[in-house]
Structure 1
Amino acid sequence: MDIATMVGMLLEGFGTTIQIFVLTLVGSIPLAVPIALARMSRFAPLRALARVYISVLRGTPLMLQMFAIYFAPYYVFGIELTTDSKWQACIVAFIVNYAAYFAEIYRSGIQSIPRGQYEAAEVLGYSRMQTFVRIVLPQVVKRILPAMGNEIITLVKDTSLAFAIGVAEMFSTAKALVASQVSMVPFAISAAFYWVFNFLVEIVIGFVEKKLNYYHD
């Protein structure tokens, strides 16, 4: 098999990798907001529930979570598994896992804002919502962006774990090609794809950071 054919096959798998990446961000970034707020809630049971959620999702392997979500419908409810079940379990596992990480990043960013800024905004007549949107949120975004960037880059690489439940993303395609062609070239090509994609992510994050430079601590 020539290099061009290998690249074509890997690009097909890379399309699935990008889908996992995008859907995870679309689902986990907003989901992390209520989790972070629950984690900071004054209502102890809700705060404890959020802490347990974050602890379990961050303290167990993502691969194990995918297996649990994939097989739970069958073993718990007797629901027959289909080909689509693999994809659905993969996306759900990635979203709930990364939401736990993002929630802690949000929490650290919000709690890093000095209490005096809230009090000053109150004196100026701002409502709690206006204070958060106009004063707190821009500072939080700037402060959490480096940590968010690290997690997003990690997500790009973690998409390779989807092969564990049979989702045909780029890494599983590369493994199959290595086995059939008895060559390490597919691994090298896939590594280049991951690196280029992560490099593009870094550029985007760097661009956003520069745009936020007018917010000073």
Structure 2
Amino acid sequence: MRRSVSAAVAAAVVVVVVAVAAVGAYYYYTSRGGTVYFYMTDPGGHSSSGSGASNNTSFAIYLTVTSIMIHSASKGWMTVSNKTITVQLSSSLSLITSKSLPPGNYTEIRFVVSSVTVQVGGVNVSASLPSGVLKAPIINGGLQVTSGKSAYLVIYMGPHLVLTGNGQYVLRPVITVEAYYSPLTSNATTTTS
């Protein structure tokens, strides 16, 4: 009788251990995040227009970003980074940050921009950005983050720079955001703060 009780207890312990291990493995693989790499690029040349602006004017644009957020239908807005970074828009991909995000679908991105500097003919000039926030949907169904996998989010920013009649520059960018699921190979550079 003692042997059958001992065997039953041992079997019950084994079943409990296996069940706990299975639940733990399920939780680990379904709840751990995937790494998302955030890139920014200017897909074409810069454009300028307005009173006194020439489409042939050569200039560089620098954005100082103080916050990056991403939106999930199930989790709402999530902070990706509150680190202040300065990004020069160029045709090369600039890695601006990376973050492990919970699995799910993300549909929109938002940047808080504290300043815009335009370098025109070697001279730095401040420009304004209406609202100080850049916000755009992620096209083609959004960004799907999968546990243990990497994803790559590219922010294509076509900066439309307007020179107003009073000599002030205003940045009115056209933004497209797209997700990729294999490493990017085109001229990636790392942005520093």
Point out the structure with the larger strand share.
2
Fold match (TM-score > 0.5): no
TM-score, with length taken from structure 1: 0.24
Larger Rg: 2
Q: What TM-score, normalized to structure 2?
A: 0.27
Structure with greater proportional helix content: 1
